[in-house]
Amino acid sequence: MGGMGCGSWTRLSSKATVESQNTINIRYLKEQGLLTAGRSGELTWSCRGERSGAIDYLTKENGIQLTYNYRSGNRGEWQAVKQFVHYEYTACHYGGQRTWFSCSECHRRVSAIHCAGKYFLCRKCYGLNYQSQYESYIDHQLYKAQEIRVKLGGSASSTSLFPFKPKGMHWKTYTRLRFKVIKSEMAFYNNLNNQFNHLALRIKGKKG
Ligand SMILES: [Zn+2]
């Protein structure tokens, strides 16, 4: 199963509980024949042979109903949670369709949802690993771009005109630096744009 931490799947039966960071992968549901409506049972996670979480599920035509008890930390109160996760579909190249989860919070199409809090949401909503690593990389790239701009005698700001080639610098060097700056700044703005869309979706979702 992979996913967060240690998350192999086993089938045990007792009260369904989930603590943190358990992952459900759409591929697993498909392999287990759980994309068909009308199936119910329990999904459990184990870590080094020990049961680490479990949820009850009920499969529907357009999604999966998850029921479990959740508490934050080891001493919090248990709360009963019922979450319906909708599916989304995309067409495959060679016919048929591929099923995805639609994240309950941001409505992005994702192949895995994680329980890092009360609900099963996408990695981005929980700000888990990959995204924050990517963002710090992007920030670093932008910083590098600013350094290059200043080195060429211009302003650090990405909104100012790109500085002219300093006297004595080879065109080849200048072009390489310029290309590097453009690439970094574009990545930064793309990421910002994605974050903005993400935020706009959340605001839209809350109003409706
Ligand atoms: Zn999300």
Residue 102, strand partner residues? 109
123 CA to middle of ligand 1, Å? 7
| CA 130 to ligand 1 center in whole angstroms | 14
199 against 55, higher pLDDT = 55
SS (H, E, C) 4-64: CCCCEEECCCCCCEECCCEEEEHHHHHHCCCCCCCCEEEEEEEECCEEEEEEEEEECCCEE
Residue 4 makes CB contacts below 8 A (sequence gap 6+) with: 21, 22, 23, 114, 116, 128
* pLDDT over 60 at 7, yes or no: no
SS3 181: helix
pLDDT for residue 38 = 96
- The predicted-structure confidence for 92-118, as pLDDT tens digits, reads as follows 888 889 999 999 999 999 999 988 778
Q: 43-95 pLDDT, tens per residue?
A: 888 766 677 778 899 999 999 999 988 877 667 788 899 999 999 999 988 88
Q: Among 5, 133, 119, 22, which Cα is nearest to 66's?
A: 119
Domain ranges of the chain: 8-121, 130-207
Give pLDDT tens digits for 136-174: 777 788 888 999 999 999 999 988 999 999 999 999 999
Backbone angles phi, psi at 56, to 5 degrees: -90, 145
Cα 114 to middle of ligand 1, angstroms: 10
User: Is 60 exceeded by the pLDDT of residue 8?
Assistant: no
User: Does the pLDDT value for residue 13 go beyond 50?
Assistant: no
